[in-house]
Structure 1
Amino acid sequence: MVKARPAAGGGRWVEISPERLKGWLDGFYGRHNGATEDALTLTGASNGDTATLHPSPGLDGVTDIDGLLQGIAKPPRIGLLLVRRGAAAVGVADGTTLETSKVERFYVQGRTAAGGWSQQRYARRRGNQTDAAVDETADIAARILSGHTDLAALVCGGDRAMIDLVLEDPRLERIAALRHPHLLEVPEPRLNVLEDAAVTARKIRIHLVP
């Protein structure tokens, strides 16, 4: 069963693995007594329901359903960058297989209930530790990703603000330009989380209305 979640502005989102997309499309046509296609949007013949497909990262040039089906048959190589305050994971995925990866954990001071000078001192220390984590993540990303000139997209997950800081590193300018707009929701990065992200990143997102 495909799980749906509400979409901002109306409708709902579902995510379909490439292997299941053709069956899902057949099901949409069947449930709506046929459908018309306009670029990447299907409109049901029976009631006007719409399904707008958003291609997997790296297939941004795809403009119609046939092109999408052809594109997912040979998935592009993508980079992965997962960052949270306590850890980061970077990898390169060919399909759902991680070709190379690196996971690093960081120590960041927990929040304190103390006030005044003590609170300011802890805040500065926490800020310094966060800066160090960003710098180290940028080092890892540059080492893992920069040598791959054939990456079709960069998929990020976790803390958007920290990811933004990591990608400000000049060494990652080319990689940052490949960043896909959809941010994955991930727990604190671990190897298994990175492996799951390689699978999730390939899914086709579909906006259904209603």
Structure 2
Amino acid sequence: MAPGRLDRWLDGFGERHGTVRYDVTPATVTLTAEDGSTAVITVPFEPLAELTREGLVAHVLADRRLGVLLVRRGGYGAGVFAGGKLLDSKVGSRHVQGTTKAGGWSQQRYARRRDNQAREAFAAATEVAVRILAPARLDVLVCGGDRRAVDTVLEDPRLKELAGLVRSPFLGVPDPKQKVLEQAGVDAQAIRIEIDQTESV
């Protein structure tokens, strides 16, 4: 759900199910309605400082400089978002050879080549992160793609401060292209709600 829809959705939940009790923590907000319906909202970019409904709405609508880092063996992307707009970005791809059914020395040679290609791809992703994300004065960083690949990129000492800004969710994405990166920026800010079977978003 888009952040701008949350306040109205909360009103609607009460209208449909009766008086709502809010149990608020820095990480989750649980709604329990008069008819027994429940909904659990995961706080984006936790922790939530003001533990009220109003605090939650203000938190999700707050202006932030959001960084997105996507890394897979076949490609990478980095973007800076603010106010729902993409301010700066770079995507790229590197060829990483697939697996082979050959055995023996041939298989080992392919494996070494594939590992070398992967290292080159991750090094390219690291340089893009250093150039696009590191100087961007980010408030939060959301990552996606392959966890091991992302971890490899963030291990670079030049990205030490960025690593401390990482927040959930971890996004599952195909090989990053420009449209994939743009959608990742939207998905990173989406409100996630777990609802019972009587309620729908």
Query: Under a length normalisation based on structure 1, what TM-score does the superposition of the two structures give?
Result: 0.86
Query: Is the aligned partner of 1:90 residue 2:75?
Result: no
- Where do residues 21-36 of structure 1 align in structure 2 (5 Å cutoff)? 21-36=6-21
Query: Is the aligned partner of 1:20 residue 2:5?
Result: yes
Q: Distance in 1 between matches of 2:168 and 2:44?
A: 11
Query: Is the aligned partner of 1:66 residue 2:64?
Result: no
- Where do residues 166-205 of structure 1 align in structure 2 (5 Å cutoff)? 166-205=153-192
Q: Distance in 2 between matches of 1:187 and 1:66?
A: 36
Higher RCO, 1 or 2 (CA under 8 Å, sep at least 6)?
1
Q: Could you give the per-residue CA deviations for residues 13-33 of structure 1, whole angstroms, max 9, x where no partner exists?
A: xxx111211221122112221
After superposition, the Cα gap between the structure-2 partners of 1:35 and 1:61, relative to the gap in structure 1 and judged at 3 Å, is: closer
Q: Distance in 2 between matches of 1:197 and 1:181?
A: 12
Which of 76, 82, 94 does residue 106 from structure 1 map onto? 94
Q: Could you give the per-residue CA deviations for residues 27-82 of structure 1, whole angstroms, max 9, x where no partner exists?
A: 211222121112122111111x322222233x533433211211233331111001
Q: What is the match of residue 122 of structure 1?
A: 110
Q: Is the 8 A contact 2:48 2:56 kept in 1?
A: no
**Amino acid aligned to 1:204:** I
User: Can you give the 5+ residue segments of structure 2 that lack an aligned partner in the other structure?
Assistant: none
Deviation above 6 Å: which 4+ runs of structure 1? none
Q: Is the 8 A contact 2:48 2:59 kept in 1?
A: no
Q: Distance in 2 between matches of 1:99 and 1:55?
A: 25
Which of 55, 68, 76 does residue 80 from structure 1 map onto? 68
**Shift of residue 85 of structure 1?**
1.1
Identity of aligned residues (%): 46
Aligned-pair RMSD on alpha carbons? 1.5
**Shift of residue 209 of structure 1?**
4.3
**Amino acid aligned to 2:116:** N
**Amino acid aligned to 1:187:** P
Q: What is the match of residue 119 of structure 2?
A: 131
Q: What is the match of residue 9 of structure 1?
A: none
Which of 133, 140, 146 does residue 134 from structure 2 map onto? 146
Instruction: Give SS of 1:19's match.
Output: helix
Q: Distance in 2 between matches of 1:31 and 1:115?
A: 63
Q: Is the 8 A contact 2:174 2:180 kept in 1?
A: yes
Q: Distance in 2 between matches of 1:37 and 1:116?
A: 62
Q: Is the 8 A contact 1:95 1:198 kept in 2?
A: no
Task: Report the count of equivalent residues.
Answer: 192
Instruction: Give SS of 2:189's match.
Output: coil
Q: Is the 8 A contact 1:51 1:209 kept in 2?
A: yes
Which of 27, 41, 44 does residue 30 from structure 2 map onto? 41
